[in-house]
Amino acid sequence: MIGKNIRTIRSVGSKALFLALLYVCCAHIGYAQNKYISNHRSVADSLSKVYGIPSSVILGVAILESGNGTSRNSKLLNNHFGIVGSNKLRQTHGIKSRYKQYSNSLGSFIHFCKLISNKYFYTKLKGSNDASKWVDAISKAGYSTHPKTWKTRILATISRYNL
């Protein structure tokens, strides 16, 4: 009987520990996204005014594509949007990568907006704040290799963080 009670206590204890760890991880992820948003919101807002792309879309894509600024591409290449292009990682770090390198994160944000402004749907949507229409158009234009999943994740990010 005592052995059974000890196993129950251990089981309950491990479940509580698991739930506590899960809570800490989720809180850290939420903190990382909020920190990322506060660090990049002014850039997204400024570019939104210049290009007519909603800042919510700019930030939503950046959050997803850069893993809240924690991805290797965002850290080593200042690439927050998964944009393909040349880089010097092989020479500097011995790493082969197909993603474009920027001198700073602002360059990445500007290049994303320039890419979007060259798409066929841009003139029709410019100035519209309907994030759903923008994300749908970007996904249909081939921005992602998995457009349906990508679209869902971007819209969920925009909604979750009230971008």
The pLDDT of residue 109: 98
Q: From residue 32, how far is each of 46, 136, 160 by CA, in Å?
A: 22, 26, 14
Mean pLDDT of the residues in the chain: 86
Domains, the chain, ranges and CATH? 41-160 (1.10.530.10)
Query: What pLDDT, in 10s, does the model give residues 129-150?
Result: 999 999 999 999 999 899 999 9
Measured CA to CA in angstroms, residue 71 lies from 1, 75, 77, 133 at distances of 51, 6, 10, 27
11-15, 21-25, 50-54, 61-65: segment of lowest average pLDDT? 21-25
